[in-house]
Amino acid sequence: MVTDLPKHYWHHLAEEDVFEALKSDHHAGLSAQEVEERLRLFGENTISSRKPVSPFKRFLLQFNNPLIYILLVATAVTFFLQEYVDSGVIFGVVMINAIIGYLQEAKAEEAINSLKKMMSSSANVIRDGTKTTVPATQLVPGDIVQLASGDKVPADMRLFKSRDLQVDESALTGESIAARKERAALDKDTVLADRVNMAFAGALVTYGSGMGVVSATGDDTETGKIAHMISDAVSLDTPLTQKIHAFSRILLHVIMGLAAVTFVVGMMHGQGWVENFMAAVALAVAAIPEGLPAVITITLAIGVRRMALRNAIVRKLPAVETLGSTTIICSDKTGTLTENQMTVQKVFAGDREYNLTGGGYDPEGILKCADDETLETLPEGLRVCLLAGLLNNDSELIEDEGRWKVRGDPTEGALIASALKGKLDRDALFKQHERLDVIPFESDRQYMATLHQYDDQHNVIVLKGSLERVLARCKNAQGPHGDAMELDPRKITEMADKYAAQGLRVLGFAMQLVSADEQTFDRFRNEESAEQLTFVGLQAMMDPPRKEAASAVATCQKAGIAVKMITGDHALTAQAIARQIGIKTLDGDDEEYRVLTGRELSEMSDHDILKSVETVSVFARVAPEQKLKLVTALQAKKHVVAMTGDGVNDAPALKKADIGVAMGVAGTEVAKEAADMVLTDDNFATIEGAVEEGRNVFDNLVKFITWILPTNLGQGMVIMVAVLIGASLPVEPVQALWLNMTTAVFLGLMLAFEPREPGIMMRMPRQPDAPILNIEIIVRIFSVSALLLIGAFGLFQWALSQGESQQVARTLAVTLFVVVQSLFLFNCRSLTVSLFQTPAFSNLWIWGGVGAMLLAQLAFIYTPLMNRLFKSAPLELYHWGIMLAYGLVVLVLVEIEKGVWRARTTRRAPQ
């Protein structure tokens, strides 16, 4: 009985050692009793999942904020002091913030559930010597499983039979082409993508058949390991949430300190403790920007809507801003930078070179000569080469909702597309040259041969395979016009090497006209007719870059964002794609397109990885855990990392990155659920637009914070000065809450609709550790706060000296804040550009917000209900004239201050 299994190296063991370790028989399989015992020992073939956070707990987490703690304490104490209106309004504000935050939360992650769906629903097994079908969940290590074309691999298994077996593992390994499977044992350090004697859970059999013995089930499969990497990968706080948390902690300490000073000073003036406590509460409530959490959430939500219009669906709100602060984009290659569709790009036929345009499996394209001159007619030599690729083919192209897909092998799909670009009629040719026999591809032969009817007396043999094996069967070559010419193996090999150096996969083609004798193909099969074929050409293909990828990469680089390719594909292919789209090494090395492979990474120390990860831009043959390690290393270097991908193998790194970006069309559900953002058009160029939108979101948030803090700081300073000199409070707690919430929603929120400023993508990314506010903004905040203190406190004292009631005086003070903040809003439309150079009507929401605030403030001043609730009183017309004049003075002073900073910046700028 098996009690323990080695965790690695099934690919390295000889077949007999595999069966010995698993205590299984390749003829009879396991007995029913052994299966039952192993099910108890190893469990079902499913991936375990974590317990999700309950909705109630997610709601409670909305209160986990230091500023909210202060408001909750203020709610309880004011209620205890029977200040029920104040208590109710404060608590109402807290609940509104919590509800908005809860409603905007991203839905619970479903990555692990998506991985479960990848598991096959059933499996064909041999148990007790009998073939039977069982639910895939009931598979155990040691089970013998049969695989056929179209099957989804139900568990990890070591293969011991393979008949032309090809498996699409692109979602797991990033490999563009279906992997051809073999039986032979491999080196112990063979990377995952090269383990051709293994089949992995969730992969799809595209061709052939095979048998394997299950080596791992459930959580122990490679897919299961990825699920646990997703679970273990800590989703980091975004730069925005980190800065807001830090800002909140500082604000908490400042407010608590000022409130304590206010209380102590009041007691020293001989005032009662209840009065002093209400003054302290007033200061705390006035200084806390209650609208900040709600406005940040709504601003991000507006960014989500804008990004959706640009084909980017955001699943987690802070991701909107995170893209704006991204310093490095780590991109998968297959399906992200490339089409994920093999395409023939070069043909060498009739001793001439040809280029093919078009991308993917779309049959639309043009054939050109090597000098890029379009072909008017199809040369016979080229036609025969394309015909060979079309006839020696078991796949087909289908159009599904306007998108061409291959049913079968991607390489053969590319050959069909190249023939269709040459205007060959597939159906007519298949009817004319009916297939009579086939020799399937096998790794030891390295070719596939087919026999077709040619005419009444002749058949034709078509050979496709590795160039070395095809040339070995040829006696001559075909000329450009279909005539025979001398075979030049050296020239042909040099041409193939040139294509391979460009990252192209090269296939050779040959044909032979034979008699209709049935024994002719048998002699060919037994290799009795060596060196009898005519070489007809080469077809070189690759998964090409997306058309927009190069310009998108260049734009990101201009914006100071480094782009790195991290792929499971071969180094040569990755390097060729990197060269085409401009992803270069960043250390000035002569080797501009240096590639680090997964094997090299596995031999490097953590220190060496940290040293190389910033300069090297292309990583190939990388395993899922290495992708995760590279992202972690970049984050350790203080980078804000965006990771793009579409496969299962990308999911752990997508979750670990500061922002994960998945492809919506070709991406797996696992990748989408692990990501923060999904691109609906699978276009890398969409990320460029998303970065631009993210930068604008952050700009608008900074504008809002710059605008709102003077209100809070000014109110706090007014209250503190009043306590210090023993005067009455110019603003009461409930009035402070009215001021904070209404101005934030009607005025400040309108800044979220500000359009992008010119040159936003010409700036370098923000430093991850840079504060939200720079010295210029901090000076402006304190300057406007001081002006608000002077204006509001002065107007309050002036009104009292004129014999006005405290209600009128306080209403004047509160309304002055509203007037000044309404005009200061126009200053904040740009933090650097002059108000008079900003288009007045480029953001109509600003005007609507000012109008709405005016109506709300009129209700606050002139309606009896609001007078009772907020202790306000009606004002005279000349009061409005005084406040408007003071507001205009503040507006002009801020513009002068902005001009001074612009002049200083211009002088410091390099000439």
Separation CA 782–CA 879 (nearest Å): 26
d(CA 310, CA 302): 13
Q: How many residues does the chain have?
A: 911
b/e per residue, 493-507, with b = 16+ CB within 10 A? eebbeebbebbbbbb
As beta bridge partners, residue 146 has 124, 211
Q: Is the CB of residue 510 less than 8 Å from the CB of residue 463?
A: yes
Identity of the residue numbered 859? A
Q: Of these residues, 143, 151, 194, 332, which one is catalytic?
A: 332
Q: Which residues pair with 49 in a beta bridge?
A: none
Determine how β-strand 198-199 pairs with β-strand 328-331: unpaired
Q: What span, in angstroms and rounded, lies between the C-alpha atoms of 289 and 295?
A: 10
Q: Both tokens of residue 83? A: 């200040």
| CB atoms closer than 10 angstroms to residue 206 | 21
Q: Is 332 known to be catalytic? A: yes
Instruction: Count the neighbouring beta carbons within 10 Å of the beta carbon of residue 14.
Output: 10
Asked if 500 and 571 touch (Cβ cutoff 8 Å), the reply is no
Tokens 């601003």 -> residue: 299
Yes or no: say if 153 and 166 are a contact pair by the CB < 8 Å rule: no
> Any residues with CB less than 8 A from the CB of 73 and at least 6 apart, and which?
none
If DSSP states are collapsed to H, E and C, what string results for 232-261?
HCCCCCCHHHHHHHHHHHHHHHHHHHHHHH
**CA–CA distance, 91 with 593 (Å, rounded to integer):** 59
Angle (deg, nearest 10), helices 684-724 and 806-827: 150
Backbone angles phi, psi at 165, to 5 degrees: -70, 125
At residue 450, what are phi and psi to the nearest 5 degrees? -130, 150
**Residue partners of 651: CB distance under 8 A and separation at least 6:** 111, 115, 226, 229, 230, 624, 645, 668, 670, 671, 673, 674
Would you say 226 and 655 are in contact if contact means Cβ atoms under 8 Å apart? no
Q: Is 343 helix (H, G, I), strand (E, B) or coil?
A: strand
Q: Is 80 exposed, middle or buried (0-12, 13-18, 19+ CB in 10 A)?
A: exposed
Q: Write the CA distances from 635 to 631, 765, 909, integer angstroms.
A: 6, 15, 31
3-class DSSP state for residue 389? helix
Q: Is the dihedral of CA 47, 50, 55, 59 positive or negative?
A: negative
Q: Cα(273)–Cα(255) distance, rounded to whole angstroms? A: 19
CB distance 753 to 703 below 8 Å: no
How many other CB atoms are there within 10 angstroms of residue 246's CB atom?
12
The answer to whether 636 touches 614, Cβ cutoff 8 Å, is no
DSSP state of 177: S
Q: Compute and round to an integer the Cα radius of gyration of the chain.
A: 36
Q: How many Cα atoms are found within 13 Å in the side-chain-facing hemisphere of 233?
A: 31
> Using CA atoms, how far apart are residues 625 and 613, in angstroms rounded to an integer?
15
- Enumerate the active-site residues: 332
